[in-house]
Amino acid sequence: MINDQLPLLLLHQFGKKEEALHVVFFLVLLHERVLWCKLVVKAQSKNKTKQNTTQHNTTKHSSKNRKRECTHTMTKGREGKGGGGGMKYVKLGYHLFITHLFTLFFMSLVLFGILSEVSLKLDDIWQLWEYHILKLDLLSLASSSLVVLLVFFTTVYVMSRPRTIYLVDYACYLAEEPLKVPMNYFLQHLQKFGLFDPQSIDFQQMILERSGLGDNTYLPSASHNIPPSSSMKISRAEAEAVVFGCLDELFEKTKVKPKDIGVLVVNCSLFNPTPSLSAMIVNKYKMRGNIRSFNLGGMGCSASVISIDLAKDILQSHHGGGGGGGGTYAIVVSTENITQNWYYGNQRSMLIPNCLFRLGGAAILLSNRARDRSRSKYKLNHVVRTHKGADDKSYQCVYQQQDEAGHIGVSLSKDLMVIAGDALKTNITTLGPLVLPLSEQILFFIILVARKVFNFHVKPYVPDFKLAFEHFCIHAGGRGVIDALEKNLQLTPELCEPSRMTLHRFGNTSSSSIWYELAYIEAKGRMRKGDRVWQIAFGSGFKCNSAVWQALRTIQPESQKSPWAHCISQYPVKIPEVYKFN
């Protein structure tokens, strides 16, 4: 009976389309009542007496009652936190409003368009309904159309969407105890080498004192010899120890067979023998003959992100392969070779890498198979790469060359930090719209227009990337790099802790450092399901590359084999501004 009378009531009250449109808009706004509750907090707090009275009154309408209860709860939270909590909820309300603004706008716009194009008036439709013309046909037409549209759009979505890339697991190399290099031991060896003049010894000591490195970093066995060895055979031995150590642990963790690997990407900047390191891996593990292998050289400390990007592109276009399930696995190996790239001269700009770079490596297993989601740790959301090589200063700021005495080394320019900052700005300009909430993007745009168009003298707005990420893995290139990013991105010391502790425990392990940092976060038990991680690295060329991951599950530290497992209880440690040598 009620259903039969409802159209008559609507026609009686709203005989025109324009009036019916207002009803629809009212229903849409009512649907967004939760958002409205949060937005009225600021207005409600200005009139507490009226608000308290309203909260204790009972009403006949359940929707209004829910609004008052929501407002009452949020107001109590504000009073408990004091005056500072007010701005917190104002900003929260702003973010929620902006986030839902376009949804509300487009819903209203679509409904307006539909109603404005309807040629039949409500009374005409009711007459047709009364004569049973539309009772059955309209229902069957709507249901069949809905099914057709659903099938069509589902097919288009499935066919066009890129495959999700999963990070199943990864492994970081942990060197043996005899390869540790305490700071005093390292400085004594520099003196015993007989290769450096007193000024160079003093300069390296000054760098070490302010480097942020600790007494537990590692160097390859060749660097412990006096004089140090740097033959091709010993360099290969270092590469095999690091790479095979990572891969053995990775295969053990994941229970994946080497024959199941369809893609292999290896990056090592300064050691590129023939056959390549990727061929060395294929030979060691007897991988299949149709594996797609790549060996990247000279790409610098950001090469691991580049390798991830290359593997991602191949996996997203590769629909067959090992293991079945309509997909395949990819392995990325990131390392650097210390043995053959130690600098034995006295040019200061080329001595810095001797003090910072240490032994390390990482192996990462990726998959494009949907069945691997349940056992994977992360999924890859974004990769953003920035290359500033077109500029001469950027190209030459990290440059391998010979000094006047013929010694080969990597020279670091004094402009390195400025160039890195410029590359970072370009990178986050591209990354920001992909990860930042709309509210931050609007604030950034308003300030940009005010500065560039209206010439207002206001400070540039730095987006709050803490709203986009829960964890940051900043390349442990040195204390200056971490300090600069912490300041420029307005990060907290806790967010930069993984980078500082990695630099202290393992030194600069080049492209693999971001994986030691991720392992630190996991070992501390901080990784929760849904958390987003920003890996950011800098490299020669000059390049700034970012990878964004999202955790698919909460990582339990006690169940993980980690390079931090034996010492995580000792961290974080307080790192002195200047290390004091005994």
pLDDT band at 453 (very low <50, low <70, confident <90, very high): confident
In this structure, the strands spanning 398-402 and 408-412 are antiparallel
Highest mean pLDDT among 12-16, 40-44, 526-530: 526-530
| CA gap 216, 504 in Å, rounded | 8
The amino acid at residue 177 is E
* Among 454, 468, 475, residue whose Cα is nearest residue 546: 475
**Interval 407-424 mean pLDDT:** 94
Q: Which entry of 355, 368, 387, 427 is annotated as an active-site residue?
A: 387
In this structure, the strands spanning 261-267 and 329-335 are parallel
Residue 186's pLDDT is what? 93
User: Rounded to an integer, what is the distance from CA 471 to the centroid of its chain?
Assistant: 8
Place of tokens 């109603």: 115
pLDDT greater than 60 at residue 383: yes
Please report which helix (H) or strand (E) contains residue 382, including its range: strand 378-387
Residue 547's pLDDT is what? 98
Say if residues 475 and 506 touch (Cβ distance below 8 Å): no
CA angle 250, 470, 252 (to 5 degrees): 10
Classify the C-alpha dihedral 198-199-205-208 as positive or negative.
negative
pLDDT greater than 50 at residue 66: no
pLDDT greater than 50 at residue 12: no
Residue 125's pLDDT is what? 56
pLDDT band at 131 (very low <50, low <70, confident <90, very high): low
Active site residue 95: no
**Interval 398-411 mean pLDDT:** 94
Over the range 356-390, which residues count as b (16 or more CB within 10 Å of their CB) and which as e? bbbbbbbbbbbbbbeebeeebbbebbebbebbbee
Residue 96's pLDDT is what? 64
Residue 47's pLDDT is what? 44
Tell me the two tokens of residue 298.
């000279």
| CA gap 242, 225 in Å, rounded | 19
Q: Which entry of 267, 346, 368, 508 is annotated as an active-site residue?
A: 508
Active site residue 31: no
Neighbours of 265 (CB within 10 A): 26
Residues 6+ apart with CB under 8 A from 527: 471, 521, 533, 551, 554, 555
Cα-based torsion angle of the residue sequence 204, 206, 210, 214 in order, rounded to the nearest 10 degrees: 50
Residue 115's pLDDT is what? 61
pLDDT band at 113 (very low <50, low <70, confident <90, very high): low
pLDDT greater than 80 at residue 335: yes
**Interval 382-410 mean pLDDT:** 95
- The pLDDT tens digits for 476-490 are 999 999 999 999 999
The amino acid at residue 61 is H
Cis peptide before 227 (omega within 30 of 0): yes
What is the percentage of the chain residues whose pLDDT exceeds 90?
Answer: 60
**Interval 59-66 mean pLDDT:** 40
Q: 84-98, 221-235, 415-429, 478-492: which range is least confident on average?
A: 84-98
Cα-based torsion angle of the residue sequence 310, 313, 314, 317 in order, rounded to the nearest 10 degrees: -170
| Mean pLDDT rounded to a whole number for the chain | 82
Q: 136-150, 251-265, 304-318: which range is least confident on average?
A: 136-150
Residue 160's pLDDT is what? 63
End-to-end CA distance of the chain: 94
Q: Which entry of 37, 172, 246, 301 is annotated as an active-site residue?
A: 301
| CA gap 443, 440 in Å, rounded | 5
Active site residue 301: yes
Residue 38's pLDDT is what? 43
Highest mean pLDDT among 81-85, 91-95, 139-143, 520-524: 520-524
List the beta bridge partners of residue 401.
409
Q: Give burial (CB, 10 Å; 0-12/13-18/19+) of 253.
A: middle
Q: Which entry of 471, 473, 496, 545 is annotated as an active-site residue?
A: 471
What is the percentage of the chain residues whose pLDDT exceeds 70?
Answer: 73
**Any idea what DSSP says for residue 357?**
B
Say if residues 523 and 374 touch (Cβ distance below 8 Å): no
**Interval 536-560 mean pLDDT:** 93
- The pLDDT tens digits for 187-212 are 999 998 888 999 999 999 999 999 99
List the beta bridge partners of residue 170.
364
pLDDT greater than 60 at residue 237: yes
Cα-based torsion angle of the residue sequence 69, 70, 75, 81 in order, rounded to the nearest 10 degrees: 130
Place of tokens 């009972």: 58
Classify the C-alpha dihedral 138-141-147-152 as positive or negative.
negative
Active site residue 508: yes
In this structure, the strands spanning 292-296 and 471-474 are unpaired
**Interval 490-519 mean pLDDT:** 97
CA distances from 39 to 84, 342, 443, 467 (A): 17, 61, 18, 19
Active site residue 387: yes
pLDDT greater than 90 at residue 48: no
Residue 582's pLDDT is what? 73
Classify the C-alpha dihedral 156-160-161-167 as positive or negative.
positive
3-state helix, strand, coil in the chain (%, to 5): 55, 15, 30
| CA gap 414, 59 in Å, rounded | 71
Topology adopted by domain 167-570: Peroxisomal Thiolase; Chain A, domain 1 (3.40.47)
User: Rounded to an integer, what is the distance from CA 498 to the centroid of its chain?
Assistant: 14
Active site residue 544: no
Please report which helix (H) or strand (E) contains residue 66, including its range: helix 62-81
List the beta bridge partners of residue 73.
none
Residue 35's pLDDT is what? 43
**Interval 368-384 mean pLDDT:** 95
Q: Which entry of 295, 427, 475, 544 is annotated as an active-site residue?
A: 475
Residue 10's pLDDT is what? 39
pLDDT band at 367 (very low <50, low <70, confident <90, very high): very high
pLDDT band at 33 (very low <50, low <70, confident <90, very high): very low
| CA gap 198, 220 in Å, rounded | 25
Would you kindly state where each structural domain of the chain is located, as residue ranges?
A: 2-130, 167-570
pLDDT greater than 50 at residue 21: no
